Amino acid sequence: MSDITVDFSPAAAPLAEKLLEPAREIIARYPVGRERSALLPLLHLVQTVEGHVSPDGVAFCAEILGINKAQVGAVATFYTMYKRRPTGEYLVSVCTNTLCNVLGGQEIYDGLTEHLGVGHDETTADGKITLEHAECLAACDYAPVVTVNYDFAIDEATPDAAVGLVEKLRNGERPTPSRGARLCTLKEMQFQLAGFADEREGAVADGVAGAPTLRGVTLAQEHGVAVANFNIDTPITTTKPARDESAKAVKDPAPAGAKPPAAKSEGKIASAAKRAAGAVKTAAAAVVDKAEHAVEHRKAGAPVKAGDVKDPEVRAAETRNPDGSTPTPDASQTVAPVPGTRTEAAGTAKNAPAGDGKPAGDTQRGESIVSEANAAHEEQSTASENPGWQNAQRGTEEKK
Ligand code: FES
């Protein structure tokens, strides 16, 4: 794929001129026949130039990967890190999810909204700052948090600290973040997200985990809580585990006429499969019986007992929260998960596993959905300047 030549359309050609080489490098990272998997980093690559994914960016990705624009649009509109309209130099994200919110995330967001005069996913007139409220930014231990271009800019933030930060950014400064690498522009960050090393000094940084991150470990140590049989000295295997030939045999059945595998291993696989199927069937039947019994029990007006120790939920909870007295599970006795409800049990009993080995979306039905979507997109593109995959801008929509 790396030496392919593509006849780019006039829409995609300007981006191809700038991005063809790195795009080829990205595509070459994927196995032959799986090049479409390069779409995610390619969309980030497009954002290194445009700061967002424009219709031209969609065309470039579609043409270089040999897929259609509707397929690219479906991915680009699914993930919030792909921006659908021009974005500022700095994307300021304020976490307003549960923990940050309880600790003042919403006040920080409201303060910035008022100070900057923009709302969610809107950019200041000088093109410097795009503000967004974000779901959990994976730093609950430092809540409330504010990130700039996905780097942790302020831990345990306050409204005043957030306003101070955006003012520095608007004045051309790059304040030192609370943690991690030094701040960069959104376009620079897209280069890293596309999978390329950022050579600038301080662009990548690491550090030890802070006290808030280690609080759980510290408390566990103080109270003598440990995972059963945990041994910190367990060596980490760096060698690749031996290939499981039995799994390969199931995945790639021998061609017709080929010599069958040894009877011994065939017998092993068949009996393991039989045991697993039997366990699922038995478990499903048990749950159906139990559900029916419970319904009749309730109908008869009998009180419902809570916390039956035999309940799958109770067993699962024990497994999840072992203490020193919890026995080590015996792997040889492991059976398939027990369905939790009657509906699940019925589904488990009826459902045949999907065994076509194709990735999701490659089924015949999936293809027809995509081609219908593509046809609709083409029709819409010719009828209007607004590309079909892109939502109308919020302001425009509201004014209508
Ligand atoms: S809730 Fe804000 S980082 Fe998790």
pLDDT mean over 273-286: 60
Note the pLDDT of residue 358. Answer: 40
Dump pLDDT digits (tens) for 194-241: 999 888 777 777 777 888 899 988 999 899 888 887 777 887 777 776
- Whether ligand 1 lies within 6 angstroms of the CB of 100 is answered as yes
Task: Calculate mean pLDDT across residues 372-392.
Answer: 46
165-183, pLDDT tens digit by residue? 999 999 999 998 888 888 8
213 lines ligand 1 (CB under 6 A): no
Which domains, from first to last, does the chain contain? 13-76 (1.10.10), 90-212 (3.40.30.10)
Ligand 1 binding pocket includes 76 (Cβ within 6 Å): no
Nearest to 104 by CA among 113, 95, 112: 95
For residue 272, pLDDT over 80 is answered with no
Is any atom of ligand 1 closer than 6 Å to the C-beta of 203?
Answer: no
Distance (angstroms) between ligand 1 centre and the Cα of 133 equals 11
Residue 51 has pLDDT above 90, yes or no: yes
Give the confidence band of 333 by pLDDT, cuts at 50, 70, 90.
low
List Cβ<8 Å contacts ≥24 apart for 71-78: 71/36, 71/370, 71/374, 72/39, 72/43, 72/389, 73/377, 73/387, 73/388, 73/389, 73/390, 74/370, 74/373, 74/389, 75/39, 75/40, 75/43, 76/43, 76/389, 77/389, 77/390, 77/391
**343 Cβ below 6 A of ligand 1:** no
Contact 26, 200 (CB under 8 A): no
Tell which wins on pLDDT, 353 or 129. Answer: 129
**pTM to 2 decimals?**
0.59
Task: Report CA dihedral (140, 142, 148, 149) to the nearest 10 degrees.
Answer: -40
Q: Ligand 1: does its nearest atom lie under 6 Å from the Cβ of 212? A: no
Question: How far, in Å, is the centroid of ligand 1 from the Cα of 212?
Answer: 13
Distance CA 12, CA 321 (A): 54
1 touches ligand 1 (CB under 6 Å): no
Give the pLDDT mean for 53-77. Answer: 96
Q: How far is the CA of 388 from the centre of ligand 1 (A)?
A: 34
* Alpha carbon 295 to its chain's center: 39
* Structure tokens, 122: 């809107």
Q: Angle at the Cα of 50 (from 44 to 56), degrees rounded to 5?
A: 90
Rounded CA-CA distance 73/253 in Å is 37
Q: What is the mean pLDDT of residues 25-31?
A: 96
Report the pLDDT value the prediction gives residue 104, as an integer from 0 to 100.
Answer: 97
- Asked if residue 17 has pLDDT above 60, the reply is yes
| Nearest atom, ligand 1, residue 142 CA | 3
